[in-house]
Amino acid sequence: MFHLAAQPAPEERPLAYAEAVSRLASVRHALRLVEPFGAGPASDMAEDEPVASAWESAGETRQRLFDRRSARMVAGATAGIEALLIESREGREPHAAASQALVDQIRRELEEVAGIVLG
């Protein structure tokens, strides 16, 4: 089974910024592994720096919203990526348009989730 990041229990405090940034980075990393024309794993630290910088000033409400939305994003990305990997493992080529649609959706969700903290 394919795992990206642990999901926090609803009663937990908001993620520390390092864990929040790590959650986004793990999805980006996995995305590069399955993107049809991707260059393989890559570091996107420059994309995470604004989230890390804005984390403390975002406030607890936005941090909690980030927690919930990013947990759903990770679960959805995991399910989609795992489906692509299963197809490949079973000798079937994943449909290119479906793969690209998944990649595009994950990229939109990454941007939306980061926007919660960035305001």
Residue 50 belongs to a domain: yes
Total domain count, the chain: 1
C-alpha to C-alpha distance for 94 and 114, rounded to whole angstroms: 29
Q: Are 89 and 24 in contact (CB under 8 A)?
A: no
- Tens digit of each residue's pLDDT (9 = 90 or more) over 31-85: 777 776 554 444 455 677 888 888 889 999 999 999 899 999 999 999 998 888 8
Residue 2 belongs to a domain: no
Band (13; pLDDT cuts 50, 70, 90): low
Residue 87 belongs to a domain: yes
Q: Are 42 and 32 in contact (CB under 8 A)?
A: yes
- Residue 71 belongs to what domain range? 17-34+43-118
- Structure token digits, residue 32: 């590069």
pLDDT at res. 69: 93
Query: CB within 8 A of 14, min separation 6: which ones?
Result: 60, 63, 64, 66, 67
Band (14; pLDDT cuts 50, 70, 90): low
Average pLDDT of span 96-117: 88
User: Is the pLDDT assigned to residue 30 strictly greater than 60?
Assistant: yes
Residue 7 belongs to a domain: no
